[in-house]
Chains A and B, each alone.
Chain A
Amino acid sequence: MASLSKKWPWIFVVLGLLIPLLQPAMPDIVSDYRLFLVSTMIIAAIAVLGLNLLTGFNGQFSLGHGAFYAVGAYTAAVLMDKLNVPYWATIPAAAIVCFMFGYLFGLPALKLEGHYLALATFALALAVPQILKYKWLEGLTGGVQGIVLLKPEPPFGLPLSEDQWLFYFCFITMIVLYWAAANLLDSRSGRAMMAIRDQYMAADTMGIDTALYKTVTFGISAAYTGIAGALSASAIAFVAPDSFNIFLSIKFLIGLVVGGIGSLTGSVIGGIFYVLVDNSAQSLTQFIRNDLGLPFDLSAYTVFGVLLIAIIYLMPMGIAGGIYLAWRKLRGAR
């Protein structure tokens, strides 16, 4: 069993790398639009992964990760727009900037617990669009209009379309980040993070520098989400303040809860899930309007809200946790 479970990630990676190459064979199934959609799913997965590192593995809540996503996206956009930095170089830059922001926000967060931390981050999420429109930043951020960018071109003259290359770029970034997160959690530092989540007092007594770990985790988490933001700036080739509202943070939360709090695989499932629901809401509305004949615009957020509550009731460990439990039951029955 163990050998198979070790092979799974590799199988997944190879399959992922093969997907765009299928395009010439099956242009209808693997269309440019679908590849782009998968890229946004990967970006979402990275953002949820960042939130999960903080909430799932360190026990600190954040309803304001949209803020770090915005910082990442704007860092990338400003660097590309003003300094002509190549798009791939904006990823580490966004990571560093977001790490600093996260670390700084983690300092006051040290004093807050549970509801209060949720409240502070909620306030942050509500204020983000306004901060981005601040007059002194307008020269950089372009104010309400935002910044229009160019889509990344495939390097070295590779015979790939823009969407194919975008897919590879996002996919490879995610693999690297996932691998780094898995190793981090498997290390002494990762165990310290989880000890702080499970038993703060005990962790403190055993000599773990809780303040350092909590702030650094906040920084790393923000860096992950910021990288996702930078990728999204490249992918959508546009940033504007009003797209970073409170509902972006709510989407990350739904990804976290649906996928599974404290599960890396779950984060990926959660990210894929929320993009999927977000994109099918349109057709769902059309179905309700045309086929059921109800004058009713169903928004994705109705689905999100109902799901958030339903999952807390039915599957507190999210989809990943649910699958795991079902798997254990099956094996136990055998």
Chain B
Amino acid sequence: MEQFVQQVASGLANGAIYACVALALVMIYVSTDHINFAQGEMAMFSTYLSWQLMTWGMSFWFAFIVAVALSFVMGVLIERLILRPLHNAPVLSIIVVFIGLLAIFNSMAGAFWSYLIKEFPSPFPKSSFGIAGVIGAHQLGVVLVTLIVLGMLFVFFRYTPLGLAMRAAAQNPQMARLVGVRVDWMLALGWGLAASIGAVAGIMVAHIVYLDPNMMGGILLYAFASALVGGISNPAGAVAGGFIVGVLENMVAYAGNQIEKATGVYIIGNGEKLTVALIIVITVLTLKPAGLFGRVVVKRV
């Protein structure tokens, strides 16, 4: 039983990371209809930035803030310089550009910081809380940071004029333009925000998965699964999807473990995490493309 609770707790911590990356994906999807395949590598790059700042002597939280700010600038620049001119390009071109970005970020991180796996510090104390160490301090911290970020985003989009303008630009660009919203810049800001959220996720998860240029591959896949489960056009759904998928992932591994203990037959374990994500992605896409909380889009031909 204790193990079960522990699994749920660590699933929630993972889910918080997936929720962040999924939210970043949804932000870009809602405003531009593009799925950003480079999101994970951008987050990885931001994490390396914060690591570099820390080795230059900054404290964790200062490096965190600077890296998140730099990521924001990076996101805005990518949108303005690379994606803006391709505004009306066919889908394939956009996908190719995203894959190009993925390759660039991955190889640049390898070039600057080498492919050796690095340890990443945790800002949280090493003790454990609750019922006999059910949840580690870092996991609890990750969940807290995620919830703070989500709360800030909610307040931003719900109560500030800029947030309102961004929502307008995403939902109805033409009408937004008519009432004086600078839609182009809103999209760029959306990109910046997405890059920042990704950076938060990357920096939070690096302590768990260690720092290396390929660290975000699996997480990105789970973020895709989360966004799809929650409905890729629904930010709140993506967050819920993140937590659902995080817990589900650990439950599957836990169930596989129990079955192996009881019957001695290995069916599924930690080694099949990505396969589980693949199955979730394909199942949701084919059976319920709108996700659990998404809107069904009806297209007129």
Binding site for B on A (CB under 8 A): 55, 61, 63, 108, 111-112, 114-116, 118-120, 122-124, 126-127, 130-131, 133-136, 201, 246-247, 250, 253, 257, 261, 296-302, 304-309, 312-313, 316
Contacts and interface: CB of A to CB of B under 8 A. Distances in A.
B35 interface: yes
Given A122-B37, A130-B274, A302 B85 contact: no
B278 A127 contact: yes
B110 A297 contact: yes
Contacts of A114: 91
B96 A253 contact: yes
Contact of A250 (B103, B220, B285): B103
A306 B104 contact: yes
B272 A130 contact: yes
Contacts of A316: 93
Interface in B79-137: 82, 85-86, 89, 91-93, 95-97, 99-108, 110-112, 114
B289 A116 contact: yes
B273 A130 contact: yes
Contact of B111 (A122, A130, A302): A302
A294 to B, nearest CB: 10
B273 to A, nearest CB: 7
Given A246-B217, A299-B110, A304 B103 contact: yes
Nearest to A308: B100
Given A119-B281, A308-B100, A61 B92 contact: yes
B278 A123 contact: yes
A328 to B, nearest CB: 22
Contacts of A313: 85-86
Nearest to A107: B286
Nearest to B86: A312
Given A61-B92, A127-B275, A305-B102, 20 more contacts: A55-B92, A61-B91, A63-B99, A112-B286, A115-B95, A119-B228, A126-B221, A134-B275, A253-B96, A261-B92, A297-B111, A299-B111, A305-B107, A307-B100, A308-B100, A309-B104, A312-B86, A312-B96, A312-B100, A313-B86
Contacts of B104: 301-302, 305-306, 309
List the 8 shortest-distance A-B pairs measured between CB atoms, nearest first.
Answer: A308-B100, A305-B104, A305-B103, A301-B107, A299-B107, A127-B278, A127-B274, A301-B103
Given A116-B285, A119-B224, A297-B114, A134 B272 contact: yes
A123 B277 contact: yes
Nearest to A133: B271
Interface string B133-155: 00000000000000000000000
B127 to A, nearest CB: 34
Contact of B100 (A115, A136, A309): A309
B91 A305 contact: no
Contacts, number: 134
A114 B110 CA distance: 31
Given A130-B273, A134-B271, A308-B100, A119 B91 contact: no
B82 A309 contact: yes
A241 to B, nearest CB: 11
Nearest to B220: A126
A249 to B, nearest CB: 9
Label chain B's interface by main secondary structure.
Answer: helix
Contacts of A116: 285, 289
A130 B218 CA distance: 11
Contacts of B220: 126
B107 A302 contact: yes
A39 to B, nearest CB: 25
Contacts of B97: 308-309, 312
B207 interface: no
B5 to A, nearest CB: 27
Given A115-B34, A246-B217, A63 B95 contact: yes
A211 to B, nearest CB: 14
Nearest to A55: B92
Contact of A61 (B95, B274, B286): B95
A77 B220 CA distance: 31
B282 interface: yes
B102 A126 contact: no
A189 B4 CA distance: 55
B179 interface: no
A120 B224 CA distance: 9
Q: Looking at B33, B92, B114, B289, which has the most chain A CB atoms within 10 Å of its CB?
A: B92
A123 B271 contact: no
A193 B55 CA distance: 56
Interface string B39-77: 000000000000000000000000000000000000000
Nearest to B221: A126
A123 B221 contact: yes
13 contacts: A115-B34, A116-B285, A119-B281, A123-B281, A133-B271, A135-B269, A253-B96, A253-B99, A299-B107, A308-B99, A309-B96, A312-B97, A312-B100
B157 interface: no
A168 to B, nearest CB: 34
Contacts of B95: 61, 63, 115, 118
Interface in B1-52: 33-35, 37
B156 interface: no
Contact of A119 (B85, B86, B285, B301): B285
B266 interface: yes
Nearest to A297: B111
B286 A111 contact: yes
Contact of A298 (B99, B111, B218): B111
